[in-house]
A and B are shown apart, each in its own frame.
Chain A
Amino acid sequence: MNSTKTKDLVGTFVSLLLLTLLALPAIASGFENESYTANLSDSANSSDSTAASNIMLSILGNANEDRTIDMKDVEYTESIILGSGSQTQFTDATGDNSVNMLDVTKIELINLGKAKELTLVDRIGRQVNVTLPVKNIIPTDYRTTETLLALGTGDLIVGVDRAFHERMSEFGLLDLPEVAMHGQSIDYEMVLTLEPDIVLLPLSQTENADEIARNFPNTAVVVMGLSSKNSIGSDLTTMSFVLGKEKEANELISWMQGYEHLVNERTKDLKSDEKPAFYYEYMSGSEEKWWVITPDDPSAGQVAEGTGGHNIATGLAGTSVEVDPEWVIKRNPDFMFADLMKGFDSGPGKTEKDMENLLTEVLSDRAGFEKVNAVKNSKVYLVDRDIIGGPRWVIGHIYFAKCMHPELFEDINPEKIHKEYLKKFHNLEVSGTWAYPLPE
């Protein structure tokens, strides 16, 4: 009888304990329903994005809009909450449309490397949440892949585009699956199989980004301009922050800025009549059409700007415009630069002889061009796109400047700078010819 009573008592206690434990979440949720959510005044519209030339970290929490997230952002956000600071585009670190002390904590979490997620604003203004740490990534454009490799993130890349294997095999990753072609024709099934944390799209996929993102609900689909001169600084800064490669990115950016500064310093005092006219032809030799690259082109067009010359396409609407041969002849440019975008005829493995033959080919069947100053004075140059896009844009930039002003750049050899880049950021030694001829 005593034994039965004891069992009954124990059973009762166990039951009650279980019931109590079961009831706890329900009780707690009851209080959650009554939660008080403070909402400081929704600040006015965020500021407009800064000029593309200004390097800025585009991650929510970068309240003071510099190149990193640190305690200065904490102080800045606190000043906004106290009413003495102005709200900026990235102040709302939590992305809840309110600037309050929760943002301060989120900024501290990011600064201390303890944030489990952050929100970046991609090149086209989309807010994208990224779960941290990023374990794998798929760049869908080969120039983006090169830029990521320069940051030392090769171990994070789990897929590439076909163009990377075809045109940049010198960088390796040959065993990785191909999931796209130059940012397009994405193999959704393959990408889903690889389960990337981030899929990087080039600017050419701007209009399709949201549609592509819908196919990858568990992946951060981000549009970044990592191959374009105008956007590579800021987008490198943002992506490197997400990937934990800030130091590497700063080194790469400093390297680019150093040479850009050098060109600027040496050409800035040139007077207008000391700046020769140049014609920059798009996709030379690839088809029968004639296209000219304008300064509005954020990549090639901008690379040629600030190099001590005057683009004869200045003022034309668009980034590359179809023109008649007569249009070129009439403007009689002093220099002609032929853009080699295909990537098969120049670059790795090509000799100067190969390039000389290519130059002859490019200039063939151009009736009337013999009268053009550039041709008459042998000032026609071939430029591979590899040294126009991605981090190597600055090599093309120097090349343009040296071609037009060899006297100002006697001590500068673009070829050596190219080798320096490959060794310093990729630990590669690659023979080839990316520009021809090299000005004396």
Chain B
Amino acid sequence: MEKSAFFRICFAALIVVFAAVPVQAQQTTISINTPEIVEGSTVYATVNIDNVENLDAGQFDLIFNPDVLKIIGVENGSIGETKIPVQWRSVDSKTVRVIFNLEGVTGVSGSGQLASIGFEVIGDGKGEFLISDGLLGDTEANSIDTDWGITEASGIDADLKDAEAEDTQKTVPGFEVVLTLTGLTMAIYLARSKQR
């Protein structure tokens, strides 16, 4: 009986954990697919998006090293079959601002690419990209909670940003609630098992 109860508890705990994982995965994330930088070549930095729901519009600045890269254009992205029509403008020599607005207000959900930014590699050196001032909006004109990851440059040191991101993972209150409830369930179940 005790062995059986132990098995059930473990099984229950596993289900709770797995049930929580997909929720965490629903967080919209942005990442940049950084190409290999070879002087004299043309490269494309792809801005990827994952797990977005009802996306209607958005914007971001992409910052790059102007000694190494020179922007040549920004191409539309897509999520599934839906095109992400972009407009862009160079804010200064090292920053390009990209905006997009889907047709109508029906929105799109899923994962894909927001834009592909083409660069000419004009020099030797570090060709890293940073995203700044990013914003995604849904079909009700509300901001979409987005994890801009380490690509976000907002004056905070990159290492510090990494540390903050780790802290965030550790302090998600939803997990505390799940674990507490799981513990309570286990205690109740054990008590009931002993009564039998």
Contact = CB atoms under 8 A, between A and B. Distances in A.
B135 A38 contact: yes
B181 A29 contact: no
A183 to B, nearest CB: 35
Interface in B50-74: 56-60
Contacts of A9: 8
Interface stretch (B40-48, B75-83, B121-129, B137-145): B137-145
B177 A26 contact: yes
Interface in A184-229: none
A115 to B, nearest CB: 8
Given A20-B20, A101-B137, A27 B178 contact: yes
A23 B16 CA distance: 9
A36 B146 contact: yes
A37 B145 CA distance: 8
Interface string A4-27: 110011001101100110111011
A373 interface: no
A30 B59 contact: no
A365 to B, nearest CB: 65
A15 B142 contact: no
- Going nearest first, the 8 A-B pairs with the smallest beta carbon separation are A27-B174, A38-B135, A20-B19, A101-B57, A106-B141, A30-B172, A35-B145, A105-B141
A20 B148 CA distance: 27
A84 interface: yes
A102 B23 contact: no
A31 interface: yes
A78 B99 contact: yes
B173 to A, nearest CB: 5
Given A30-B174, A101-B57, A109-B105, 10 more contacts: A20-B15, A23-B178, A34-B145, A34-B147, A36-B147, A38-B135, A40-B135, A78-B87, A101-B58, A108-B101
B90 to A, nearest CB: 9
Contacts of B168: 34
A104 interface: yes
A112 interface: yes
A436 to B, nearest CB: 56
A31 B24 CA distance: 8
Given A27-B172, A83-B89, A32 B185 contact: no
B109 to A, nearest CB: 15
A50 interface: no
Interface in A65-99: 74, 78, 81-84, 93-94
Interface in B75-128: 87-89, 91, 97, 99-101, 104-105
B166 to A, nearest CB: 12
Contacts of B147: 34, 36
Contacts of A93: 141
A100 B135 contact: yes
A26 B174 contact: yes
Contacts of B57: 101-102, 104-105
A28 interface: yes
A319 to B, nearest CB: 42
Nearest to B101: A104
B105 A112 contact: yes
B12 interface: yes
Contacts of B19: 16, 20, 23
B133 interface: yes
Among B104, B181, B196, residue most surrounded by chain A Cβ atoms (within 10 Å): B181
Contacts of B178: 19-20, 23, 26-27
A122 B23 CA distance: 44
B146 A12 contact: no
Contact of A94 (B141, B152, B196): B141
Interface string B12-32: 100110011001101100000
- Grouping DSSP codes into helix (H, G, I), strand (E, B) and loop, the A interface class, with mixed when no group exceeds half, is helix
A272 interface: no
A83 B59 contact: no
B15 A81 contact: no
Given A78-B87, A83-B91, A112-B104, A12 B175 contact: no
B15 A84 contact: no
B8 A31 contact: no
A78 B88 CA distance: 10
A2 interface: no
Contacts of B145: 31-32, 34-36
Nearest to A22: B181
Nearest to B189: A12
A439 B178 CA distance: 87
Contacts of B182: 19
A38 B174 contact: no
Contact of A101 (B24, B59, B140, B189): B59
Given A12-B12, A30-B174, A105 B23 contact: no
Interface string B137-172: 111111101111000100000000000000010001
Contacts of A45: none
Contacts of A30: 172-175
Contacts of A38: 59-60, 133-135, 143
Contacts of A266: none
Contact of B181 (A19, A101, A106): A19
A36 B148 contact: yes
28 contacts: A9-B8, A16-B16, A20-B16, A20-B178, A22-B177, A23-B178, A24-B23, A27-B172, A27-B175, A30-B173, A31-B145, A34-B147, A34-B168, A35-B145, A36-B146, A38-B60, A38-B134, A39-B133, A40-B135, A81-B97, A82-B89, A84-B89, A101-B57, A101-B59, A101-B101, A104-B101, A105-B140, A106-B141
